[in-house]
Structure 1
């Protein structure tokens, strides 16, 4: 299994990716979340300049945020800066849309977008929004077409699976493991968590900082997909909802997604303190090194070929090193 990392795009991400390369990670993905992050393509370009080997890519691009020509041109630029190292993944927009108050895009739109994006990289004339267009970059302004870059699709249900089979080179998954994952040759699975030291309490301050942001996704996701009742069914869910519901409904998404994948927001902290931390091992890849190894082995058996770990907390090097040691000790897929 490949062992990769991911970062919620930050000003430190290029240096973090260079660190991940030195430690031995195979690929680095960064998020396309403009409401809370620097530009994903600028960040990847800086990372390309500071690295030599590690794979690079946005994980995941949200189509509605940019015209397909813009993402195609940016992809071609990164492919020129880091030849042979680039992959691109697309998703319907959890943080990248819901944190701005929008719902996810439709799979029909995703299908059309990826077709246009891939056609542009092949050097074809495509139609988008009723207009005919193609990449017109002269020599020296972009690599010659075709630009061959793998495309992964963030699919968890049958509609996404259908698009991924038609237009993708693999899956980019998180939070659940659909049965159809075993039918793909490339499945990148995004995970959060932390490797506990021997005897370390799962509700320690260090674990809270390193494992908490990933754990909090259980509440963010339950709220977005199941509503308040789904959250209140979780340990500490009542405390979480009590904080969130203090925000007017029209702006409640701002409260829900504050600190998303980076730190605990006020609602997350309330849920953690109310006993929600007991769900850490169920919601993230956390535990002793042996427990993390067993979880990764289980993911491999379900079809995952690339585990993608996002470190959290103040000690990025510690999190990257400990997770890689555990992952490398896992049984071969």
Structure 2
């Protein structure tokens, strides 16, 4: 299993990616979340200038946020800055859309979008929104076409699997890994958590800061995919929902996604304090060094080929170091 990392795009991310490279991580994925982050492509370009080996890519791009020509041109630019190191993943938009009040894009739109995007990178004339277009970059303005970069698709259900089979070089997975991921030879799995010290309890301040943001996704995801009733099934769910429902209905998505993947928001903190921390090790890759390693063994046995760890909390280096140490035998030489 390859050991990669991910970062919620911040102004510090290029330096954090350089740090991850120095520690031995094989790839860094960066989120496309414009409602809370700097631009993903600008961030990756800066990272390319500060690194030499580590793989780079957006994980995941949300197609509705940019015209396919814009993403194709940005991909070509990054491929010129970091030749042989670029991969691109696409998803239907969890935080990248739901945090702005939208639902996920349709798989038919994803199919059409990746068709156009890959065609543009091959140097073809494609049709988008009823118009014919092609990458017209003169020599020196972008790499000559075709621009060949691996493409992954984030899919959980059968419709997504069909699109991935058609377009993808691999499957980008988070939340509950689907059984069909065994069909793919490259399966990065995005995960959160923290390595706890021996005797450290799940309600420690370190666990809250470093494991809490990933733990909170259980509540965010339950609300978005299952509604309020699903949240009530979680410990502290009643307290979480009470905070969210103080907001007007048309703005509740703001209360849900504030601090997403970075810190606990007010609702998350209410759930944590009400006993929600008790499921930290169930919903994240958190635990002692040995417990984390066993969780990685299980993921590898089910078809994950690349673990993608997002560090949280105030000490990024220590979180990256502890996770890499826990990964142990799973780490492939850089």
Same fold at TM > 0.5: yes
Q: What do residues 86-134 of structure 1 show as CA deviations (whole Å, max 9, x unaligned)?
A: 0000000000000000000000000000000000000000000000000
The 3-state SS of whatever aligns with 2:307 is strand
The 3-state SS of whatever aligns with 1:56 is strand
The 3-state SS of whatever aligns with 1:174 is coil
Q: What is the match of residue 203 of structure 1? A: 203
Q: What do residues 1-42 of structure 1 show as CA deviations (whole Å, max 9, x unaligned)?
A: 110000000000000000000010000000000000000000
Q: What is the match of residue 25 of structure 2? A: 25
Matches within 5 A, 1:156-171: 156-171=156-171
Does residue 282 (structure 1) correspond to residue 304 (structure 2)? The answer is no
Matches within 5 A, 1:1-333: 1-330=1-330
Count of residues in correspondence between the two structures: 332
Deviation at 1:331, TM superposition (A): 9.0
Q: What do residues 286-323 of structure 1 show as CA deviations (whole Å, max 9, x unaligned)?
A: 00000000000100111100000000000000000010
Deviation at 1:328, TM superposition (A): 2.6
> In the aligned structure 2, how far is the partner of 1:203 from the partner of 1:177?
27
Single out whichever of 81-90 and 194-203 deviates more from structure 2: 194-203
Deviation at 1:326, TM superposition (A): 1.0
> In the aligned structure 1, how far is the partner of 2:225 from the partner of 2:167?
26
Moved over 2 A (4+): 328-332
1:77 and 1:142 in contact (8 A); partners too: yes
Q: What do residues 177-227 of structure 1 show as CA deviations (whole Å, max 9, x unaligned)?
A: 111011100001000000001111111001100000000000000000000
1:155 and 1:164 in contact (8 A); partners too: yes
1:294 and 1:330 in contact (8 A); partners too: no
1:235 and 1:274 in contact (8 A); partners too: yes
Give unmatched runs, 5+ long, in structure 1: none
> In the aligned structure 2, how far is the partner of 1:111 from the partner of 1:330?
34
2:3 and 2:330 in contact (8 A); partners too: no
TM-score in terms of structure 2 length:
0.99
The 3-state SS of whatever aligns with 1:286 is coil
1:244 and 1:255 in contact (8 A); partners too: yes
> In the aligned structure 1, how far is the partner of 2:125 from the partner of 2:90?
22
Judging changes above 3 Å, is the alpha-carbon distance between structure 1 residues 188 and 4 closer, same or farther for their aligned structure 2 residues? Answer: same
The 3-state SS of whatever aligns with 1:4 is strand
1:62 and 1:96 in contact (8 A); partners too: yes
